Structure 1
């Protein structure tokens, strides 16, 4: 179930990616991603993310220095994007999940436009796979599961077409604007 993010070579004006694990992203397999096609970069969370179009490309944390220099040299904006998936996946952590925790997460998710019904349906869809991902693999994560984790977990459940639909929904959640319009 675990997979690495591929090999990244960050050059002067492009990022070369080999072996990116998620299909259908623009980066699947091998790609050269030129700086003009990058909207923003987030180095505040792990994994790092590069936004291109309507998707995030996940970049290993080991590339933080090179990716930061690349962004500065090419005047690509830095952003601190909330990982909405980390709030959706709170119930699947190896920690106590109280009613108080539920209410706090519901308020955060509501600020991003997700209704209680949407949250419940999404949670139901990913529940079995997230429990397998976190506990059957002995990951035992207790702090944070995020968008990369849900993609890793769900890609083994779905066939290519089903994963494509899930991937698009997952990315739309990743890029939801908050109540202030920040994405």
Structure 2
């Protein structure tokens, strides 16, 4: 369960024991670097380098919290997912492959590195 307050978020029974909030359960706004709403599940990235996962049912609450506290909401391309497409049990068209190469190149990963 997650509870949102004006300047902090409380997590109860956070399932990942390695996370900094697993013991304390509280995340203050000054500790939050950014919010990634488009990830599945949504994520909070901290200044200390933690990635805190937020259940999707709290996505709107997280968005409101981030907006009201001027926390950056960013989008990231999942480059690992694109790199690993070749290993999926799915066939992609040449158009799809070319789109993937161009996206990875825009992220600084060359065609040679993907193959």
TM-score, normalisation: structure 2? 0.72
Task: Give CA-to-partner distance per residue, 1:23-82, whole Å, 9 cap, x none.
Answer: 544344553110111112122343112121234322111001211221122121222222
Name structure 1 gaps, 5 residues minimum: 1-6, 121-183
4+ residue segments displaced more than 6 Å: none
CA RMSD across the alignment: 2.7
Tell me whether 1:13 sits opposite 2:7 in the alignment. Answer: yes
Answer yes or no: is the 8 Å Cα contact 1:17–1:32 preserved in 2: yes
The 3 A distance-change label for structure 1 pair 23 and 113 is farther
Residue of structure 2 equivalent to 1:49: 43
- Cα separation, 1, equivalents of 2:16 and 2:80: 17
**TM-score between the two structures when normalised by the length of structure 1:** 0.50
Unpaired segments ≥5 residues, structure 2: none
Quote the Cα distance in structure 1 between the aligned partners of 2:51 and 2:88: 23
Larger relative contact order (C-alpha < 8 A, sep ≥ 6)? 1
Q: Counterpart of 1:59?
A: 54
